[in-house]
Amino acid sequence: MKTIIANWKMRVGVRESVALARGTLLTVRGSKVIPEIVVCPPFVALGEVRKVVARSAASLGAQNMHSEDSGAFTGETSARMLTEVGVSHVIIGHSERRQVFGETDEMVNAKVRQALANQLIPILCVGETAEQRDADQARDVVRDQLGAALSDVRLRGGSKLLVAYEPLWAIGTGRSASLEEALAMHEYIHAVLNGVFPDAPKGQLDVLYGGSVTGENAYQFMREKLIGGVLVGGASVKLNQFREVVNAAIEVMEGLQE
């Protein structure tokens, strides 16, 4: 199974989100094998998009959440609120949240634990800057991010964790990591996760690639066994591009069945 996360960010409103959700479902109509698709619209569109994806091949994801159950946190959304509107996945620690909004590793850790406590699947984002990669610190940065984010995290039976490797220098730049760079980091992340969760059964952990994923480069990433899927940003709001990403996943999955 390959997983495709569509992060629509703050690019579409409610009506556009509904139309995009419908178009996304059309991309898999008639397919014999279907990848796991998670659409993450803006918060204001979650309720309406849920109506579109309910009882479909797609799941509903949120772009963020707060780490507390409730309280005087104006403008924030709790895990319980997300589950009430049908959300099953939540992006945590996206580079834009870390860089623009100042989220720390400790905040990310609290959100991961809160998500799991509420039966949500965290999509934990990690990745290094261009300066850190140039200084040969990429692995150290990712290891530290994973260690902090997963501190005191326990995976119970039935729970699942997705980690998205998103090199910051490849987000929104049009420049993706080379296949060699992506594979090397995915292998490293898998090793770290196996150390943190040595008894995790197959399917409980997976690692995705995110960073300027397009219809042109999606296949080269998803054909690799180490890469469980992709986190798609800009291309996910362009149906022609997203259809190519989905078709790449379908082609890979069909090949695995042969």
Hey, which residues are catalytic here?
A: 94, 166
| DSSP states along 187-251 | HHHHHHHHHH-TTPPTTSEEEEEESS--TTTHHHHHTSTT--EEEESGGGGSHHHHHHHHHHHHH
Number of alpha carbons in the 13 Å side-chain half-sphere of residue 211: 24
Rg (CA), the chain: 17
Kindly list the distances between the CA atom of residue 124 and the CA atoms of 113, 195, 216, 251, in Å, as whole numbers in the listed order.
11, 17, 25, 26
Please identify which residue in the block is written with the tokens 């319980």.
80
Q: What is the largest CA-CA distance in the chain?
A: 55
CA distance 111 to 93: 9
Buried b / exposed e over 56-88, threshold 16 CB at 10 Å, is bebbbbbbbbbbeeeeeeeeebbbebbbeeebe
Indicate the pairing of strand 36-40 with strand 161-165. unpaired
CA distance 255 to 56: 24
H/E element, 53 = helix 46-53
